Structure 1
Amino acid sequence: MSQPSSPCHEKKNNWPRWLRRNTLELVACFIIGLGILMLLQPFALILYTWSFVTMLAGTVMFMVVSKFPE
């Protein structure tokens, strides 16, 4: 049987605020969106060339960050 949680049994979260899941998930979504914009723009071939790598990096970042604590 588990004991009810009380303030003295709570875990202290030692992660810095910028390493929390919410902030970094937003950054990852921004990187994915940036990759999509790079893919759809008609002006610079270099942006189109790096768009897949950018979207892939954002997706991998999102998958890793989703394991971080709240």
Structure 2
Amino acid sequence: MSSWPKILRRGPMEALAIALIAIGFVMLFQPFLLELYSYSFITMLVGTLMFIVVSKFPE
């Protein structure tokens, strides 16, 4: 078993990364606020990069 804290394991961090990607997607397609649309790409990019990094974490 790994000595990493439970919060830093692959499962919870991948879930957080996927949630960020989903939030960015919703921000991209909502028709109400330009500010949300403006930050949608950055949000999805951070989620994608986080997912790539986190996929290397131990189970």
Q: TM-score, normalised by structure 2?
A: 0.98
Q: Gaps (5+ residues) in structure 1? A: 1-11
How big is the alpha-carbon RMSD for the aligned residues of Structure 1 and Structure 2?
A: 0.6
Identity within the alignment, % = 56
Answer with 1 or 2: which has the greater Rg: 1
Greater RCO (Cα-Cα under 8 Å, separation 6 or more): 2
The aligned length equals 59
Q: Gaps (5+ residues) in structure 2? A: none
Q: Which residue of 2 aligns with 1:20?
A: 9
Q: Which residue of 2 aligns with 1:35?
A: 24
Misfit runs of 4+, over 3 Å: none
Greater share of residues in helix: 2
Deviation, 1:13, is 1.1
